[in-house]
Amino acid sequence: MQTLQKLEIATSFFWLEVFLDAVIIASFTVILVRYLVKTDRLQIRQDLNVESMLLRTGLIAMGVESMLMLTFPLISLSPSTLTTMVSDALFYSLITTLLIHYLLLKPTNPVLLNKPSLIDRILALRGFLLFLYLASLSLFLLLLLNVYQQQQLNYTTQAVAAEQPQLARIRNSLNDQISKAALDTLILARQENLQALFNGDSAAHSRLAKDYLSLASVKPVYEQIRFIDKRGIEQIRVDQGSLEPVVIGAENLQDKHNRYYFTDSFKLSSGQVYISPMDLNIEKGHIELPFKPIVRTASPVFDQQGNKRGVIIINLNASALFTQLKGDAQNTAGELMLLNENGYWMFGRERDAAWAFMFPEYKDRTIEKYYPGIWQKIAGNDQGAFLSPYGYFIFDTVAAGRTSAASPELKKQAAEMHWPEWKLISLASPQNLSIPYSNILPHLIMFFFLTVIVTGTGTVMYFRIQQKNLIAQQQIEHLAHHDMLTGLNNRNIFIQMLELQLAQSRRSKEPLALLYMDLDNFKPINDQHGHEAGDYVLKQFAARLKQILRESDTLARLGGDEFAAILPSYGNKRQLEIIARRIIDATEKPVSYRDQQLQIGISIGIAIHFQGLPLESLLHEADQAMYEAKRAQKNSYCFAAEPQEQQLA
């Protein structure tokens, strides 16, 4: 199995792997069974030859292994795992051994059975065809299910692969907007009006405010544009108003010296840009309502002497980014989420976990709480996809301010400037990923039921043909062993049955009686009334005999008007006399034929098999006794003489 796995043919032709595995296993099984039969360790059934037995062994082995190989993938077991291989070996050995033992091998204690009747043979044929039909359908159904599962898996894999470029497009779009804000921050940090303000130009303050207003008007996503001096006090601030950007008066300017974005950005060197983590805007110590997600880009400002004079900060309103994310979510197969570097939701799970890090009482609501063990797989990689108990996690890294998340140099630079990294995640269930492919399932179901109908019809037709053949064969066998006129056993089968009964009598040491009967006055009926009348009389006589004798007795027409009956375990001589008298009484009753009463008689010879009497002489003794009865008095019976040694005893 592992060798076949290394061939890597299951990806597109998994059924070929199943077939090759089943053929190899079946070949080894046939070789082993042939060796055991050749060394007399196994005895095959008497009705099978070695070649037929080996062929059936191979078919059984191949069918069992194919069923197992097609079943394991349906219960999510990989054929390459050790557990699966051990399970396959155990189930294969058990099922194959039982089937070969009960279907092909000779039983340890053979039991002599009577030849099956026509009904038994038809029932056996029906049972075999039903078993073969259901087994074939099961194998076909397993094959279809595996085809569907394999194709569904391939489609899901393709859908997961297609999700990655979609996330990359969203990542690039987010990065592009943040990068533009970072570039604008650098431009503002190098303005001549800002240097003029440092040099004491009183009008520079007004010009800077107008520049910030113009920029805010052109880019409404810039929630705030500020210049904060080195003490952390806002000197110039433009906010997006309800209708247009506005310059905040001096009385409303705030002290931001203790805010993380000011302290972190103030440490940077000239030309460096700080990009803050995304959080909710806070005004006067409180979270602004409704929630306003903000990303801040900042850069330190230096005067011409190289002294650090403050920072330029642009508040990028991420609400527009989230609006874009909501639109992009319509094009993704899974649930789109954006998480910060600590595993907190910023986009997604708005009802219970979004922005939980902004509230002390909800600090535990990270992705690890809702999806245990997932964050460790995502945090350490820039991008990837994996299947979990919760579905497929497809993720990418939004490295703020840079277009490539994989470059080591950019990573180092981002770490120095405290640039954040966010995880863009799409959580998709396998069912959602394979929804387009699920349309093929009704077609497979229809194909299966059509196959059931066609093969079922063919099986029924084949059964009927074989049933007619069995009936015809039974009729041929019946004609070969029975009298065509009366339906009784003919002479040939009667002789064989007599030999079997004599052998059984010798083993059981029980007596056996033979009645030899010949009709009296039968020839005149043929001469006077025709052969049709004679045939009718013979059939009526045979019917009367059947009513008198037991089912265990063997009755036959030996030819002409001669009949014979084998009576095993008859009881005693008195019982034989009673039976003979009943036959005579039944024969004396006239036979009505075309308003005429036909009268016949019968002569009966009775021979009893005793121990020591030669088997060949029983029929002869009964025949002689019948002639004695016919000579002495017609319509009577006579016993054959007992052996001399019996008489002396």
Q: How far is CA 609 from the centre of its chain?
A: 66
Buried b (16+ CB within 10 A) or exposed e, 51-85: eebbebbbebbbbbbbbbbbbbbeeeeebeeeebb
Residues 278, 422 contacting (CB under 8 angstroms): yes
Nearest in space to 93 (alpha carbons), one of 53, 33, 52, 135: 33
Nearest in space to 178 (alpha carbons), one of 320, 292, 295: 295
Residues 211, 197 contacting (CB under 8 angstroms): no
Residues 540, 648 contacting (CB under 8 angstroms): no
488/478 Cα distance (integer angstroms)? 10
The pair of three-digit structure tokens given for residue 380, joined into one six-digit string: 């350490």
Count of residues for the chain? 649
217/150 Cα distance (integer angstroms)? 56
Looking at 88, 483, 518, 561, which residue is catalytic?
561
For CA atoms 261, 264, 268, 272, the dihedral sign is negative
561 a catalytic residue = yes
- DSSP states along 136-167: HHHHHHHHHHHHHHHHHHHHHHHHHHHHHHHH
> Rg of the chain's alpha carbons, rounded to an integer?
51
The pair of three-digit structure tokens given for residue 472, joined into one six-digit string: 């015809």
SS (H, E, C) 486-522: CCCECHHHHHHHHHHHHHHHHHHCCCEEEEEEEEECC
Residues 6+ apart with CB under 8 A from 540: 591
- CA dihedral of residues 200, 204, 209, 213 (deg, nearest 10): -150
324/479 Cα distance (integer angstroms)? 91
Beta strands 601-609 and 636-639 are parallel
The catalytic site residues sit at 561
